[in-house]
Amino acid sequence: MLRPWDLQIIINTNCYRAVYIQIADAIIHAIKNGKLSSGDALPGSRQLAAKLKVNRNTIIDALDILLAEGWLDSKLFLYDKVYIH
pLDDT digits (tens, 9 = 90+) for 12-70: 989 999 999 999 999 999 999 999 888 787 888 888 999 999 999 999 999 999 989 98
Give Cα separations from 37 to 2, 18, 22, 41, 82 (angstroms). Answer: 14, 25, 19, 9, 6
Domains and CATH numbers, the chain: 19-82 (1.10.10.10)
Angle at 74 between CA 27 and CA 43, to 5 degrees: 50
Rounded CA separation 53/84 (Å): 28
Give Cα separations from 43 to 13, 14, 25, 47, 66 (angstroms). Answer: 23, 26, 17, 6, 14
